Each structure stands twice: as C-alpha cells, then as structure tokens.
Structure 1
Amino acid sequence: MSRRIAIQARVTGRVQGVAFRAWTRGQAQKAGVDGWVCNNPDGSVSALLVGPEEAVQDMVDALWSGPGAAAVRDVASEKITPVPEVRGFEITG
C-alpha cells in the first residue's frame, strides 16, 4: 500500500459553470481519493486531494482536462503536510 499524501490545487481558466466540481468529485471517488473541491470568488476552483500517492498524482493530472465544457489554463499544486484526516470527497462551495 502506498503512503497517503495531500495536495492543495488551484485550477484557473473556464472552470466555473461547467460542472467542474461535480466532475472532480466523480473522478476522485473513482480513484479512491478523499478531500474537497470548491469555487473561489476569483473564478478559479480549489481542491484538496488526499490519498495514495499515485492516485493523488493521477487526480492532479486529470485536473488539467476537466469536464468537456471546461477550458483549463493552469493547475497550481503543492504538497502539504501534515496530511489532514479527511474521509470521502465533498463539494464545499
């Protein structure tokens, strides 16, 4: 079993009003990644991704594509420690 890591990500581009949060939650649930996703006032989307290292890295890569109507310009991500204890994946805002 690989170790759990946590990554905080901020996605910019056309990522609000295109079902980006619901898509992210669906992808995370399929990948076994915990955390949350939310819209930001500046039009970006933030996400916390927690889980096995490989699954979290795959999720970060997936954020670059998003759902069909999205147009991702950038995904800024950073590993955070300590790893927060979160279970499940929620849309928080």
Structure 2
Amino acid sequence: MTEKRYRLCFYGMVQGVGFRYTAMHAANMHRLTGYVKNEYDGSVTCEVQGDEAAIDQFIATIRSGRFIDISSIERTELEPDPNERSFDVRY
C-alpha cells in the first residue's frame, strides 16, 4: 500500500452542517489520518493521508452527508507524514 496525502479544500454548504464530524467519522471508518478545520471564508480544509482508494471513499462518504452540499473541491498532493497516527478536528 502506497501512502498518499492530500490537502482538500471543500467549498459549498460545508459549515454548520456536521461536516467536521462526518469527516472524522469517515476518516476513522476508512483508516485514514489527518485533520479537518473550518476556514474563515466559509470553506473547510482537510488534510488526509492513507491509501488512495480509501481517500476516494472518504470523499464519497462526506459527499453523501445529509445536509452537506459540496460545490467544488481543490485537491493538492502533499508529502506523507510518517509520524501521523490519528485524524483530528482542529478549531
């Protein structure tokens, strides 16, 4: 398994709709590490690390959130962090 790490910036109706809780649940379900946090411009930034297929499933899980409406996602590949062990919500 090749570890990948991406910075994902989610735009749309992504704050005040349980996005961070959904992301944390999805990351744990797909055994991914990283973090998620709200941004001042109304977007949500997430860094996620793990198997590429699991990352794609993570995004699909978030998209299926009941009140979440993602209009676009910016995806940037980063260097994996070999010391990261969990997925956190940042404030």
CA offsets per residue over residues 73-92 of structure 1, 9 Å max, x none?
101111112x1131111101
Cross-structure match for 1:11: 10
* TM-score, reference length from structure 2: 0.90
Aligned to 2:68: 70
Q: Matches of 2:78 and 2:56 in 1, distance apart? A: 13
Count of aligned pairs between the two proteins: 90
Query: After the TM superposition, which parts of structure 1 deviate over 3 Å for at least 4 consecutive aligned residues?
Result: 60-63
Matches within 5 A, 1:45-56: 45-56=44-55
Q: Which residue of 2 aligns with 1:25?
A: 24
Contact in 2 for aligned 1:5/1:52 (Cα 8 Å): yes
Runs of at least 5 residues in structure 2 that lack an aligned partner in the other structure: none
Distance in 1, Cα, partners of 2:17 & 2:37: 13
**TM-score scaled to structure 1, two decimals?**
0.88
Query: Which residue type is aligned with residue 65 of structure 2?
Result: P
Gapped regions of structure 1 (runs ≥ 5): none
1:80 aligns with 2:66: no
What is the RMSD of the two structures over their aligned residues, measured on CA atoms?
Answer: 1.3
Partner amino acid, structure 2, of 1:79: E
